[in-house]
Chain A
Amino acid sequence: MFYRESGQLKSSYIADQAMFPIAQDRWFVIGVLAVAFLVAPFFINEYWANAILLPFLVYALAALGLNILTGYCGQVSLGTGAFMAVGAYASFKLVGFFPELNFLIVLALSGVVTAAVGMIFGLPSLRIKGFYLAVATLAAQFFLVWMFNKVGWFYDYNLTGMITVRPIDFFGIRITGPEATPAAKYLFTLTVVAVLALSAKNIVRGRIGREWMAIRDMDIAAELIGIRPLQAKLSAFAVSSFYVGVAGALYFAVYLGSVEPVEAFDINQSFYVLFIIIIGGLGSVLGAFLGAAFIVLVPILLKNIMVGGMGFDSGMAGHVEILLMGLLIIFFLIVEPHGLARLWQIAKEKLRLWPFPH
């Protein structure tokens, strides 16, 4: 009853091909963006920014990147952590070389560097598929992290082996380091993520997105109707790595401030992002956000309930939390193997009729 598309008739192809053709969806997205941009910055504090909103946004962006590759183009990757590291180190070195460069340009260039690296590691995808490709991307994971740890040039030969972000101003407002306000960090990250998410939505519903999905669904047929497999797969690796690289740069520069490669970008990071898209929904932009929300927020919620509400000590709560997360993931995958995005879609279908049975 509340989610009805009847009566919303389209009289032009532009209207029919709009990003959100159904009015309710459109208003929902505008509403979420309005709250995120106009309301949240006034209430944000250190805890909300660092524990909840920044990790949510950064992981959503990384998951969006991986979803382009795995969900849309069907190429499995276990190298997400390493590609985030490439983005992080690229931004570190770029800021070192060009301190005056606008940080948006630094982010874009970091993404481009990561895209190039991603394409190199994507080359095997022409010959190998599925699990075998996953193993090939595993090579990227171990090699790149090892390289960032071993080659001193990447961390400017400092003694700790860590990289720490320099204070960066974005049009006069400090956005990195301890002096930046939570609101500034949050708004900057939100803007980047929102723009990239809308762009991703545009790409996946255009020619290139259709080519990726064609390769995913039936690669031989795709080739015979004129899609070049190498081009399609490498473009998916490039765009995916661009997103993951920008996410890595934000993760390092805005969210954490300083990182050590073995810890911050190890294989667990790759799995973490992979879990996000599996739980959120493969092949869905919304899924990346729902999955990131689930993976980032539910542990915090569980911890608060256990420590605050039930009086567990925090060590115990940490262990139980991992257990419960595992159970919840299994539960959600059994209920809906296609992820939270599909659950959301089913909920909308139900809402079309509710509260009437027919």
Chain B
Amino acid sequence: MTDEQTNETLLEVDAISLSFGGVHALVDVSFDIRKGEVRSIIGPNGAGKSSMLNVINGFYHPQEGTITYQGQARKQMRPHDAAAGGIARTFQNIALFKGMSTLDNIMTGRNTHMSKSLFWQALRIGPAQREEIENREFVEHVIDFLEIQSIRKTPVGRLPYGLQKRVELGRALAAEPTLLLLDEPMAGMNLEEKEDMSRFILETNDEFGTTIALIEHDMGVVMDISDRVVVLDYGRKIAEGTPEEVRANQDVIDAYLGVSHD
């Protein structure tokens, strides 16, 4: 939790329903994300967590409900507008640009901050050169922050899994997001890598005041780093609150451990 945290709402999800054909991925889900907090979304497999993130950054368009981001209510938005509005994300399965170096991947994350025209870029003098240098400087801060200086020029396809996850976080951070959506940032990592990643997430939240929405299956991590948790099961919200409240909730325990429905 950052010092800047207030009770101001950054994003409010109101009565969202999303279905694909007959499959109801999300049913009447409402919760809010406050400025500066680390908000976790948990739930068993297929609960609709990733769908929720996809709705927030405009990749899926819900049939019902509204999303209010920075005071602006909308039924749906395009991914480009979400990115331009300061929503960045990482993916459950690594979605890096494999043919490009670490540096280029992270630089691509800054594309919403760059605007110089094709003509100047072809000549690469004046404004385009300056823009490239300025953004490179910022990207180098991200690289320093994530401690990946040594792999700056390595094609990302050659990197081990843990580092690829870190580069992906870097690409999202390069956009200077207001709201950072992390989809299972620690999946498949060993303990040491998880600790590193947790540290980066908390420092991001702490130093840059970035609001974070996190999907994670490792309950230890979730309980340690979240300010508030929301629990989904079969597309419905079954609980929300602080980690302690959620841990004590009988519905949550039932959802995770299973309960006989008779």
Chain A contacts to B: CB under 8 angstroms: 13-14, 17, 19, 199-200, 202-203, 206-208, 210-211, 213-214, 216-218, 220-228, 235, 239, 283
A207-B111, A224-B79 are known contacts. Are A17 and B97 too (CB-CB below 8 A)? no
Report chain B residues within 8 Å CB of A283. 99
Do residues A224 and B175 form an inter-chain contact, with CB atoms below 8 A?
A: no
A206, A223, A235: the one contacting B79 at CB < 8 Å is: A223
Report chain B residues within 8 Å CB of A217. 96-100
Interface flags for B99-126 (1: CB within 8 Å of A; 0: not) read: 1100010011101101010100111100
Do residues A210 and B100 form an inter-chain contact, with CB atoms below 8 A?
A: yes
A228→B112 CA distance, assembly (Å): 10
Report chain B residues within 8 Å CB of A228. 80
Q: Is the interface of B mostly helix, strand, loop or mixed?
A: helix
A239→B88 CA distance, assembly (Å): 29
A199-B122, A208-B121 are known contacts. Are A226 and B97 too (CB-CB below 8 A)? no
Report chain B residues within 8 Å CB of A210. 100, 104, 107-108, 111
A221-B95, A224-B89 are known contacts. Are A206 and B83 too (CB-CB below 8 A)? no
Do residues A202 and B95 form an inter-chain contact, with CB atoms below 8 A?
A: no
Question: For window 194-217 of chain B, which residues contact chain A by CB distance below 8 Å?
Answer: none
Do residues A14 and B129 form an inter-chain contact, with CB atoms below 8 A?
A: yes
Do residues B121 and A202 form an inter-chain contact, with CB atoms below 8 A?
A: yes
A208→B109 CA distance, assembly (Å): 12
A235→B137 CA distance, assembly (Å): 27
Do residues A203 and B121 form an inter-chain contact, with CB atoms below 8 A?
A: yes
Report chain A residues within 8 Å CB of B59. 220, 223-224
Q: Which residue of chain A lies nearest to B54 when distances are taken between CB atoms in the complex?
A: A224
Given contacts A13-B136, A224-B59, 16 further A-B contacts (CB under 8 A): A199-B123, A203-B118, A206-B121, A207-B132, A208-B121, A210-B108, A213-B97, A214-B100, A216-B97, A218-B95, A218-B97, A222-B108, A224-B57, A225-B109, A226-B80, A226-B112
Do residues B108 and A225 form an inter-chain contact, with CB atoms below 8 A?
A: yes
Do residues A13 and B133 form an inter-chain contact, with CB atoms below 8 A?
A: yes
A220→B80 CA distance, assembly (Å): 11
A200→B89 CA distance, assembly (Å): 31
A235→B121 CA distance, assembly (Å): 13
Chain B contacts to A: CB under 8 angstroms: 57, 59, 79-80, 82-84, 88-89, 91, 95-100, 104, 107-109, 111-112, 114, 116, 118, 121-124, 128-129, 131-133, 136-137, 140, 171-172, 175
Q: Which residue of chain A lies nearest to B58 when distances are taken between CB atoms in the complex?
A: A224
CB distance from B5 to the nearest CB of A (A): 26
Do residues B136 and A221 form an inter-chain contact, with CB atoms below 8 A?
A: no
A19, A203, A226: the one contacting B84 at CB < 8 Å is: A226
Q: Which residue of chain A lies nearest to B134 when distances are taken between CB atoms in the complex?
A: A13
Report chain A residues within 8 Å CB of B109. 225
Report chain A residues within 8 Å CB of B140. 13
Report chain A residues within 8 Å CB of B136. 13, 17
Report chain B residues within 8 Å CB of A14. 129, 133
CB distance from A345 to the nearest CB of B (A): 12
A-B CB contact pairs (8 Å), 5 listed: A13-B133, A199-B122, A203-B121, A210-B111, A225-B172
Q: Which residue of chain A lies nearest to B172 when distances are taken between CB atoms in the complex?
A: A225
Report chain B residues within 8 Å CB of A221. 91, 95-97
A220, A227, A235: the one contacting B118 at CB < 8 Å is: A235
Report chain A residues within 8 Å CB of B100. 210, 213-214, 217
